[in-house]
Structure 1
Amino acid sequence: MPDTFKNNVSEFLTGVPFFTEVSRPSLDNLCKSSKTETYLKNESILTKGDVGDSMYVILEGHVKVHEGSHIYCFLKAGECFGEYALIDDQRRSASVTTVEKTNVLIIDRKNFVNLIKTDTGFANGILSVLIKRHRELDIIQERLASSKKAIEIAHSKMSGLINGAMDAIIMFNQNFKIILTNPSANKMLENDDVLQRNVLFFFDDDSADLIETIVSNEIDNNTINQFLPQIIKVIGSNNTETLNEGTISKYGVENEYYYTLILRNTEDRIRAENKINQLTNQTQYLEEEIQELTSGYGIIAEDQSMKTVLNLIHQVAKTNATVLIHGETGTGKELVARAIHKESDRSDKPLIKINCGAIPANLIESELFGHEKGAFTGATASRKGRFLLADKGTIFLDEIGEMPLELQPKLLRVIQEGEFDPVGSSETIKVDVRIIAATHRNLKTFAKEGKFREDLYYRLNVFPIEVPALRSRGADVVLIAQEMANQFSKKMGKLPMTLSEADRSLLINYNWPGNVRELQNLIERAVIVSKNKILNLQSIIPLQIQEDTKATKPIADKIYTAEELSALEKSNIIKALKQTRWKISGENGAASLLKIPPTTLASKIKAFGIERPV
């Protein structure tokens, strides 16, 4: 090798990683014992399987390392290949072919070993490079070990996710061969040995066609991820059929693609939905019945006077206005208060009731506002008052007209300021309470007589509601009596009772001084003494009617219009049908209950347009 060329090659080798630790004089010695050779484009330098005896350093040009048509990598100037031939005579593991005209330095094993033995600087340099490479290899191995552990953890997590899924997960390749399933899929397919089987064999024809079509249409797309547009019918190995909804996705690289099918059995969900729908329909039907009967609050209101009360309840319920309910004893003032609370925004908070006329005057303050321990004789412990218990909710002050006059300023303070002091305490407590009061007294008259604070009356009377007496509610008394009779009959284990025409007449004509409470007591008594499903009120009410007639002026009978009579008859027929579960004829049918021929009842049902709820 000419000296000038040798010097150039020696200088070039100082930049080659394999010789970076070798001194320049030692590189000169290496060049003296080595030779250069030039290869044309596409010329073979090494062939796989040849016995190796030299390493090569690319001085100029470009080569490829390959096995047949498969290329492992490309090498350029400054890179080496064939180093293992310096220490053994194993056969070449790959072929090397030039990509362009290439000039290489060929280092013979014999000369390399000789330099290691005779040139200490060369040996030290090569050894330093090898040690450095070994250290780098250790680092790479540590990283690989760490990566392997991370991969194992990730694989464990993925396996846990797939195997723990309640949905069936099926993965298959382009040939529809199953390559992975989870336990839920094996259970659905009724087979634990499905790998490499055709996934389409587990579907009915329509479902198999769908999956095959989706896969065929998405060949040109790298990825897909979509909901299946129709229900998939899976047929297990034991011929068990299941209906499923699901998704399909695609992943992979180049020409290797795989598909993931996730299926969820819809039968349990459909059964649950059907059950929910059934219960919802039943609940809706029952609510409609209750609504028809009670207007949603336990209040039976067919008469216009009571419908007006319900309208007032709707108007005031959503506000925080104080309400004063007035009506005779037993008219249902508490029922109205509960209806207001139920329809208000405070319905999820407590409704606290206190009867101001039923508590001794010396204890009512403590009941309302609470007391501290030792506040008075017998106060052995602190106690919360009703107003504090009703915080954020509603308090119902029944018989407010009976409240002691000296306590009324404290109530007025709660209404105006929303605060009070418990008995025996100097601490002021703030509350947010909606107040509903009720009385049978004429508070305005009481105020003029000095028996009730006038300012408190006006603060309570923000929204007055007058509950009509039972005698003023027309045919409502019949409807209420029939409902009470049904309830008491059920409670006492008796068959449903029926009101006769005579009973209806008695109910409507009686004055009802005790209102609904009196009616309740009389109906309960009538059910107790009744026989053969006949509710006979004539043995209970007549004497009271006569006594009431002697003591008071006769009350004119209410005259019903044709429209009112028709509505009353229709309502009565519907109640009879409901009571007999819509059975028209027969011993326990509605016709027998109404004491009319079944054909007559059928004609009336058709005429009134009565239809049985679904």
Structure 2
Amino acid sequence: MTENSIQFLSEIPFFSEVSRASLQHLSENITEETFIKNEVIFEKNTIGNSMYAVLEGSVKVHDKKHIYDTLTEGDCFGEYALIDNETRSATVTAIEKTKVLKIERDHFLDLLQDDSGFAQGILSVMIKRHRDLDTIQERLASSKIEIENANGKLSGLINGAMDAIIMFGSDFKIILTNPSANKLLENDDVLQRNVLFFFDDESADIIEGIVKSKDNNKAVNTYLPDVVKVIGSGDTETLNEGTISKYGSDTNPFYTLILRNIEERLIAEDKISLLTKQTQYLEEEIQELTSSYGIIAENKKMKEALNLIHQVAKTDATVLIHGETGTGKELVARAIHKESNRNDKPLIRINCGAIPANLIESELFGHKKGAFTGATVDRKGRFLLADKGTIFLDEIGEMPLELQPKLLRVIQEGEFDPVGSSETIKVDVRIIAASHRNLFEFSKEGKFREDLYYRLNVFPINVPALRERGNDICLIAEEMIQQFSKKLNKQIVALSDNDKALLSNYEWPGNVRELQNLIERAVIVSQNGTINWQAIIPNNTDITEIQEEVSQEKILTSKELVALEKENILKALRQTKWKISGANGAASLLDLPPTTLASRIKALKIERPI
């Protein structure tokens, strides 16, 4: 062998401690072999008897298609075959044309026996490798501790998470959960169970669809598109939002589902909604109370009503306000609340005639989750919202009979039970009720509880109809004209004596509410401060003609009666701008329940013009 070959051997790590003289002895029985591209040098599981050192080219150490390492010039392989008879642990194949030095085991063992310097050099290398192995083991031990610490931190993070964390495989079987997930699923033994079994059908379809989607070939890291319903082992149902992520290889993926229970958030949102409603009530109250035409009175009857307001306001007595629709009963209730000791608390309104009978109990007293279909969260009713304040029960005569004992209990005991709950709630609420009906006659007819009537009628206040208030009509009209002129940026319209006469002579069946709507329409159509009041004020000619015909004992046909009813409903709808229910609606003007009016509109085929 040449000096270059000896130099080459000295640079091989396995012979780095061997003297040049001993390497000279080693090189005397070394052979060179050449392998072409993709030629196998030796195969896995074959018994080896030689080692190799790469002179030129490169080889790969592999097991079938899995490559462990790539070796090039100066690298050696198979050295353990020099000292044992074990089989090869991997296959070595030439990547390109490669030249190697081959060292046979027999020659190697002879040198160990005959050349003490060679044996000492090989032993030094082995000792060094052993020491390196000890260092590696120490590092591995240290790494193991670090890994254990990291795993401890990760476990602490997962187990301490408030969100439910569920890992499952492509077969949907659960492989890991944290305590929050076990609590959500109401089960501490969920491993290897199908995760989809803990969801309702719709939610299970969402998760299964994401996992099996063809668009998710590589990775999934997405929010669940909808809220999902979890059904625990104890049959508790909860609504959750969450994310789903995919990890691992395409052939063996697993998924992490993170769920957050939003029940508390929904409850919080409900509280915010209640507070928002309360704020709206307060804003409306301020708007109404600061309106300069809230209550204008020179008429003796109206002044008597105002005097009663002043007398009762500072007390907590229950008040019953009587008056035709549109006379301003709500303004009286607001005035009482404003002058009361509760004026820093909310005034909560509810129109008993505008809410369907099956919902009014929930509106007044609230309900518990699951009390009826659609009750997905707890809800606080108007009485609880009005605690320490005042509640105004408008159109109290329309309250269903079966609900009246519950109202009577609130008045007498100051307590109630929400729908679907056995919990008794105490409230401190001042009650003001109003009705356009004669509740005393109603109670005699069995349409209203007599005991409730007497509990409400502690302090009655009668609000006179607008037609009974004389010059108040013109005073209120003038104030409204100024308000609407400013609001609509119109020139202020002055009332002439003739205009006042027209306003005073009209009967005002809709009272102040009708007057307000009429004034607003008048200001809108005004031109340069001029209004044709004869065109604005309703014409009673048709009604007069009908009355004259009836007085002459004329019998109307069924068609004439239907036409009369249809025309009357149309007038009410036009006057209220096609608003059916509520304080300013046509149903109130016609003295009909909103549901009855809606049915008649449909039956008479009345359609709102476009």
TM-score by length of 1: 0.50
Contact 2:320 2:461 in 1 (8 A): no
Contact 1:55 1:107 in 2 (8 A): yes
> What is the distance in 1 between the residues matched to 2:134 and 2:215?
44
Shift of 1:287: 5.6
Shift of 1:242: 2.0
Shift of 1:285: 2.0
Where structure 1 has 5 or more consecutive residues not aligned to the other structure, the ranges are: 305-473, 500-518, 521-571
Shift of 1:13: 1.0
1:168 matches 2:35: no
> What is the distance in 2 between the residues matched to 1:477 and 1:596?
10
1:236 match? 232
Residues 192-591 of structure 1: pairs in structure 2 closer than 5 A: 192-217=188-213, 219=215, 222-253=218-249, 255-286=251-282, 288-289=284-285, 292-293=288-289, 485-486=311-312, 488-490=314-316, 580-582=432-434, 585-586=439-440, 587-588=453-454
Structure 1 residues 45 and 480, CA, compared in 2 at 3 Å: closer, same or farther? same
Contact 1:582 1:590 in 2 (8 A): no
2:68 match? 72
Shift of 1:206: 2.4
Query: For 1:91, what is the secondary structure of its paired residue?
Result: coil
1:92 match? 88
Structure 1 residues 287 and 55, CA, compared in 2 at 3 Å: closer, same or farther? same
Structure 1 residues 171 and 238, CA, compared in 2 at 3 Å: closer, same or farther? same
Structure 1 residues 301 and 478, CA, compared in 2 at 3 Å: closer, same or farther? farther
1:200 aligned partner, one-letter code: L
Residues 94-133 of structure 1: pairs in structure 2 closer than 5 A: 94-133=90-129
Cα offsets for 1:165-219 (capped at 9, x unmatched) = 1211122233333222212222222333333333333323322232233334465
Structure 1 residues 15 and 289, CA, compared in 2 at 3 Å: closer, same or farther? same
Shift of 1:256: 4.1
1:182 match? 178
1:49 match? 45
1:46 aligned partner, one-letter code: F
2:537 match? none
> What is the distance in 1 between the residues matched to 2:162 and 2:512?
53
1:81 aligned partner, one-letter code: F
Of 145, 149, 170, the match for 1:149: 145
Contact 1:250 1:257 in 2 (8 A): yes
2:197 aligned partner, one-letter code: F
2:219 aligned partner, one-letter code: T
> What is the distance in 2 between the residues matched to 1:281 and 1:290?
14
Shift of 1:71: 2.6
> What is the distance in 1 between the residues matched to 2:56 and 2:243?
56
Percent identity between matched residues is 53
Contact 1:576 1:594 in 2 (8 A): no
Shift of 1:269: 1.6
> What is the distance in 2 between the residues matched to 1:268 and 1:110?
80
Structure 1 residues 69 and 574, CA, compared in 2 at 3 Å: closer, same or farther? closer
> What is the distance in 2 between the residues matched to 1:248 and 1:89?
53
Shift of 1:592: 7.6
Contact 1:65 1:95 in 2 (8 A): yes
1:139 aligned partner, one-letter code: T
Query: For 2:433, what is the secondary structure of its paired residue?
Result: coil
Structure 1 residues 604 and 95, CA, compared in 2 at 3 Å: closer, same or farther? same
> What is the distance in 2 between the residues matched to 1:108 and 1:285?
100
Of 17, 23, 33, the match for 2:29: 33
Shift of 1:590: 7.3
Shift of 1:607: 4.6
> What is the distance in 2 between the residues matched to 1:225 and 1:478?
72
Query: For 1:581, what is the secondary structure of its paired residue?
Result: strand
Contact 2:14 2:122 in 1 (8 A): yes
Cα offsets for 1:486-526 (capped at 9, x unmatched) = 45423xxx666999xxxxxxxxxxxxxxxxxxx99xxxxxx
> What is the distance in 2 between the residues matched to 1:277 and 1:52?
81
> What is the distance in 1 between the residues matched to 2:214 and 2:152?
31
Shift of 1:477: 10
Query: For 1:281, what is the secondary structure of its paired residue?
Result: helix
Contact 1:301 1:476 in 2 (8 A): no
Contact 2:320 2:460 in 1 (8 A): no
Of 444, 461, 465, the match for 1:594: 461
Query: For 1:74, what is the secondary structure of its paired residue?
Result: strand
2:460 aligned partner, one-letter code: L
> What is the distance in 2 between the residues matched to 1:35 and 1:277?
90
> What is the distance in 2 between the residues matched to 1:134 and 1:142?
12
Shift of 1:158: 1.5
2:472 match? none
Query: For 1:226, what is the secondary structure of its paired residue?
Result: strand
2:9 match? 13
1:61 matches 2:57: yes
Contact 2:395 2:433 in 1 (8 A): no
Structure 1 residues 592 and 576, CA, compared in 2 at 3 Å: closer, same or farther? farther
2:183 aligned partner, one-letter code: K
Shift of 1:160: 1.3
Query: For 1:489, what is the secondary structure of its paired residue?
Result: coil
Give the number of aligned pairs.
366
Shift of 1:28: 1.0
Contact 1:58 1:76 in 2 (8 A): yes
Where structure 2 has 5 or more consecutive residues not aligned to the other structure, the ranges are: 323-338, 341-391, 398-429, 441-452, 469-508, 516-575, 585-610
Contact 1:485 1:496 in 2 (8 A): no
